[in-house]
Amino acid sequence: MKILTSLLAATALTAAATAPAMAEKWDMPMAYSASNFHSATGAEFAKCVTTGTGGEVEIVTHPSGSLFKGADIKRAIQTGQAPIGERLLSGHQNENALFGFDSIPFLATSFDDSAKLWEAARPSIENLLAEQNLTLLYAVPWPPQGLYFKDEVNSVADMEGIKFRSYNNATSRLAELTGMLPVTIEAAEISQAFATGVADSMVSSGSTGYDRKVWESLNYFYEVDAWLPRNYVMVNSDIWAGVSDANKNVIKGCAELAEYAGNWRAKEYTGFTLQGLRDGGMTVGPASEQMTNELKEIGVTMTNEWLEAAGDEGKAIVDAFNSSQ
């Protein structure tokens, strides 16, 4: 990690030699806590850009939904309320099914497969964002998603009636198909929601659970590796058009390094955070064979539903991914 940090600093300092005199401040809303690896990567990206442009573009991050709540970040960037921000891609699936490409259950369940799926989907996502006045800078996956519960669960039948934290269309649909009750809860509100009984379960990575110390309320984490959703950093396209070519190159370079560092962190963080859940007192391990098989059947249903909603472009993404295997 020290090497990655040094690369970010070296890139920034090299570019700073051509620093202009005027400065512009870019506030960057982020949904997750400052300690989360996505937020840490975003903070380093911000420093890289600030230093690399000689302060002409100063990016200031605002984690934990402190500037805009997660669900409001994309709209804020589109409308110019903030120039740049980070958001979960699949959080927009209600706008267009293509945004949910990375939340198709059991399609891409490893980091290698996630990278292949992103390569297949990226052109479509970039075009879709461009139509909404947004320019994609970089994207980083979360670790594989597992299931958290307060009480032991060994089958889908055991999930009946449990209050389930949802964060996108896929998680809401998963709740419906398993008989759970979906409750929309932003990342910054997770700890309070579990502590007060608003929710008793969720599907998420070990990273989210570790950052939010969910062992204070929940007791079980089942490693089902359902999918690896991505966070992405976007910039308002009108604002981007006004950036000098030299500074665009700096920002693009910092974005490439951030994507690399974020991927590295996601992989390293996976084992660390699962051990952190164990240290907190949670039972961590694979789901039962029965539950795994039942979830995969639900995954087939959800995949078919997504393909129908996403149309030919969605099918092309899945076909391109499958051909890369």
What phi-psi label fits residue 193: left (phi over 0), alpha (psi between -120 and 50 degrees) or beta? Answer: alpha
Same structural domain, 221 and 180:
yes
What is the dihedral angle through the alpha carbons of 74, 268, 296, 94, rounded to the nearest 10 degrees? 0
The token pair that represents 280 in the structure block: 């907190």
Asked if residue 169 has pLDDT above 50, the reply is: yes
**Residue 122 in domain:** no
Asked if residue 213 has pLDDT above 60, the reply is: yes
What CATH code is carried by the domain that includes residue 18?
3.40.190.170
**Residue 82 in domain:** yes
Report the pLDDT value the prediction gives residue 188, as an integer from 0 to 100.
85
Report the pLDDT value the prediction gives residue 21, as an integer from 0 to 100.
47
- 140-168 pLDDT per residue, tens: 999 999 999 999 999 999 999 999 999 88
Query: Is residue 17 very low, low, confident or very high in pLDDT (cuts 50, 70, 90)?
Result: very low
DSSP 211-259: HTTGGGT--EEEE------EEEEEEEHHHHHTS-HHHHHHHHHHHHHHH
Query: Is residue 6 very low, low, confident or very high in pLDDT (cuts 50, 70, 90)?
Result: low
Q: Please give the residue range of the domain that contains residue 259.
A: 2-89+133-141+233-269
CB atoms within 10 A of CB 161: 10
Query: Is residue 23 very low, low, confident or very high in pLDDT (cuts 50, 70, 90)?
Result: confident
The token pair that represents 222 in the structure block: 């089942």
- Within 63-122, strands assigned E span 84-88
Same structural domain, 154 and 280:
yes
**Residue 74 in domain:** yes
Same structural domain, 18 and 82:
yes
Q: Determine the Cα–Cα distance for residues 322 and 141; give it in Å rounded to an integer.
A: 19
Report the pLDDT value the prediction gives residue 137, as an integer from 0 to 100.
98
Residue type at position 40: A
Q: Is 79 exposed, middle or buried (0-12, 13-18, 19+ CB in 10 A)?
A: exposed
CA distance to 2, 18, 151, 188, 275, per residue, from 207 (Å): 21, 39, 20, 13, 11
**Residue 126 in domain:** no
Domain count, the chain: 2
**Residue 97 in domain:** no
